[in-house]
C-alpha cells in the first residue's frame, strides 16, 4: 500500500505523519471465543486486493480497527458489509464505519515504557488518540488520530521524546497597565526562563477590545506600535482559527481586561484547547450558574483556569484557601482589607490630622484609585472579591446577597465625575463624625467578612466600615497593603494571616505571570 508518508525529524528516533489513510471501525457483539472472525475480515479484504497497514483489537474482542489506504477505504467497507451481511441484520455486528478524516503518527525507536510522558502531554493538549498500537519489542508506537490534530500531536510528542524546551503559546487580551506590564515582564525574562526552566514562552497574539496582532513565532518588543498600525479587527473565533491553522500546542489565553462581555468567550476558548489565566474578576462573580458552566467545561476538556490575582493581586491567597479547603480543613471565617486604595485612605485618615478629602486626593494623585474614586468607595469591588473567596469554599452565594456599606453619601452618588470632585468637601463632615465616635485608641478599616456556617450552601457576606483597636492585626496595617485573616478549626483563635501589597500593576502582572508558569 502506498502511503503519503512524511518524515518530520531525523534521528535514531523518528516521528512520521502518514496521511491518505482511513480507519475501518468494525464493532460488534462479543467476539470472544468465536473462531474465524479475523480470518473472514482479512479474506474479504484480500479478495479485493486491499492491504491492511495495521490492526488494533479490543481486549474483550468487541471491536477491531483496521487502517487501510484512503483510496481503498470505500471498497473495504463494502467488502466487509457484504461478508458480514447476516451478522449486521442480526445486530451481531453493530457497525462497520469508514473514517477518512484520520492520520497516523508513527514513532520509531521510542520505548513504550517511556511513551506515557508523551501520551500524558497529548491528553493535556486535548488530543485523544483513536487507536494506539505498539510492536512486541516495545520500540515502535503508532497512533491513529484525527487528521487535523496530527501535526500538533507530532510537535507535542517531539518535545517530549527529544527533551526539547516546552513551547507555551500565549494569547494576551487587554494591554492596559497590567497587560502591558505582563507582556514586558515575559519578553524581558523569556530567555532566562528558557535557559533555566526549559520553557519557551511564546506570545502569539496581543489584543485590545477592537484589534489584534498575530505572530506565530512570537511578538517583539515593538508590539504596541505594531498593534496601533497593523492591528486587525477580530472575534474570538479568529484567535481559535489561528491556533488551529498553525497547529499551536500548550495554549493559554490571558484575560487582563475588566470586560464583562469578554468572559463570555471563556467556555469557547476552553472547548478549543486553551487553558485560562485571568486578572479579570467578572467571570467568577457572575451568576452561580455561569460559574458552574465554566467549571464543567474545564472538567470535560481537561483544562485549567487560574486567577490568583482576582483577590489580593500578587498575594498567595486564593491558592492557600483552595488548598486548605481541599485538604478538608474547616474554614470558619475570613475577613480582611481587600482594597489597596481604601487601605491607604483609612490607614492614613485614622492617624493623621487631615480632612478626608485631602487623604482621598492624595490616593488619587498616587494612582491608587480609579479616575472616579466612587468606584472604590461604593464597595462593589470588595464585594466581588469577597464573593470569589466564598465560591472557593463551594458556597453558592450570588453577588446580590453581599451586604455592602456604600461609603458615598446619597447626595453625591448621582453626580457626574466632575461634579463629584467639585463637591468632595461634603465627605469631610460625614467621616469626621465617624472618626470622632470611635473608642479611644481605635482606627477605621473597610473590610470584607465571610462568616456563618460555611459547611452549608451559603455564607454571610458583608462589606463594611469598622473600628478596630490600633494594636490589633487589622489596626497595624500600613500604607496600601491588603491583609486577610483566615480562621479555621485547626488554627483556633489565632488566624492564618496573609499580608502584603494588594494592588498595583507590577505586583498584579507578576501574579498573572506566576499563574502562567504554574500552568506550564
DSSP 59: T
Rounded CA Rg of the chain:
30
Phi-psi region of 367 (alpha: psi -120 to 50; beta: other; left: phi over 0): left
CB-neighbour burial class of residue 245 (10 A; exposed 0-12, middle 13-18, buried 19+): exposed
Among 370, 446, 442, 453, residue whose Cα is nearest residue 404: 446
Dist. CA 447–CA 335, nearest whole Å: 7
Residues 35-42: contacts with CB under 8 Å, at least 24 apart: 37/61, 37/64, 38/64, 40/83, 40/84, 41/66, 41/80, 41/83
Q: What angle do CA 430, 432, 436 make, to 5 degrees?
A: 125
CA distances for 42 relative to 61, 98, 210, angstroms? 16, 16, 58
Name the residue with cell 489596626: 475
For the question of residue 385 being annotated catalytic, the response is yes
**DSSP per-residue letters across 109-125:** S--TTTTHHHHHHHHHT
Catalytic residue of the set 167, 281, 303, 385: 385
- Answer for the pair 238, 226: CB distance below 8 angstroms, yes or no: no
Instruction: Count other Cβ atoms within 10 Å, centred on residue 229.
Output: 9
- Answer for the pair 16, 58: CB distance below 8 angstroms, yes or no: no
State the cell numbers at 118: 508523551
Catalytic residues, which ones? Answer: 385
Amino acid at each position: 500500500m502506498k502511503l503519503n508518508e512524511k518524515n518530520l525529524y531525523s534521528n535514531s528516533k523518528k516521528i512520521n505523519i502518514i496521511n491518505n489513510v482511513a480507519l475501518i471501525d468494525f464493532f460488534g457483539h462479543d467476539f470472544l471465543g468465536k473462531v474465524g472472525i479475523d480470518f473472514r475480515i482479512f479474506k474479504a479484504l484480500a479478495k479485493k486486493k486491499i492491504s491492511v497497514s495495521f490492526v488494533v483489537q479490543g481486549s474483550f474482542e468487541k471491536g477491531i480497527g483496521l487502517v487501510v489506504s484512503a483510496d481503498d477505504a470505500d471498497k473495504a467497507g463494502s467488502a466487509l458489509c457484504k461478508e458480514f451481511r447476516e451478522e449486521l441484520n442480526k445486530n451481531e455486528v453493530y457497525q462497520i464505519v469508514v473514517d477518512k478524516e484520520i492520520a497516523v503518527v508513527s514513532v520509531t525507536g521510542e520505548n513504550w515504557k517511556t511513551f506515557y510522558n508523551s501520551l500524558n502531554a497529548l491528553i493535556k493538549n486535548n488530543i485523544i488518540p483513536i487507536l494506539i498500537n505498539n510492536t512486541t519489542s516495545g520500540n515502535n508506537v503508532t497512533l491513529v488520530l484525527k487528521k487535523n490534530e496530527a501535526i500538533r500531536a507530532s510537535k507535542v510528542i517531539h518535545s517530549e521524546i527529544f527533551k526539547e524546551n516546552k513551547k507555551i503559546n500565549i494569547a494576551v487580551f487587554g494591554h492596559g497597565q497590567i497587560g502591558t506590564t505582563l507582556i514586558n515582564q515575559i519578553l524581558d525574562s523569556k530567555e532566562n526562563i528558557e535557559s533555566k526552566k526549559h520553557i519557551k514562552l511564546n506570545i502569539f497574539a496581543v489584543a485590545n477590545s477592537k484589534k489584534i496582532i498575530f505572530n506565530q513565532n512570537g511578538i517583539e518588543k515593538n508590539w504596541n506600535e505594531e498593534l496601533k498600525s497593523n492591528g486587525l479587527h477580530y472575534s474570538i473565533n479568529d484567535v481559535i482559527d489561528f491556533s488551529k491553522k498553525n497547529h499551536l500546542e500548550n495554549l493559554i489565553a490571558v484575560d487582563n481586561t475588566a470586560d464583562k462581555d469578554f468572559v463570555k468567550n471563556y467556555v469557547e476558548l476552553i472547548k478549543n484547547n486553551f487553558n485560562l489565566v485571568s486578572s479579570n474578576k467578572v467571570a467568577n462573580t457572575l451568576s452561580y450558574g455561569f460559574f458552574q458552566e465554566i467549571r464543567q467545561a474545564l472538567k470535560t476538556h481537561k483544562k485549567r483556569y487560574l486567577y490568583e490575582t482576582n483577590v489580593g493581586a500578587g498575594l498567595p491567597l486564593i491558592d492557600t484557601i483552595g488548598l486548605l479547603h481541599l485538604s478538608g480543613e474547616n474554614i470558619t471565617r475570613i475577613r480582611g482589607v481587600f482594597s489597596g486604595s481604601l487601605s491607604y485612605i483609612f490607614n492614613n485618615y485614622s492617624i493623621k490630622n487631615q480632612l478626608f478629602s485631602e487623604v482621598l486626593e492624595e490616593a488619587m494623585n498616587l494612582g491608587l484609585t480609579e479616575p472616579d474614586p466612587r468606584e472604590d468607595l461604593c464597595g462593589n469591588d470588595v464585594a466581588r472579591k469577597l464573593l470569589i473567596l466564598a465560591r472557593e469554599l463551594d458556597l453558592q452565594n450570588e453577588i446580590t446577597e453581599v451586604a455592602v456599606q456604600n461609603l458615598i453619601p446619597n447626595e453625591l452618588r448621582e453626580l457626574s465625575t466632575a461634579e463629584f470632585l467639585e463637591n468632595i468637601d461634603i465627605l469631610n463632615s460625614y467621616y469626621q463624625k465617624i472618626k470622632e465616635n470611635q473608642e479611644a485608641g481605635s482606627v477605621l478599616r473597610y473590610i470584607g467578612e465571610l462568616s456563618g456556617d460555611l459547611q452549608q450552601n451559603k455564607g454571610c457576606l458583608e462589606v463594611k466600615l469598622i473600628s478596630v483597636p490600633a494594636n490589633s492585626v487589622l489596626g497595624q496595617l500600613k500604607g496600601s497593603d491588603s491583609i486577610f485573616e483566615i480562621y479555621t478549626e485547626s488554627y483556633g483563635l489565632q488566624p492564618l494571616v496573609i499580608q502584603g501589597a494588594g494592588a498595583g500593576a507590577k505586583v498584579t502582572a507578576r501574579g498573572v505571570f506566576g499563574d502562567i508558569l504554574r500552568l506550564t
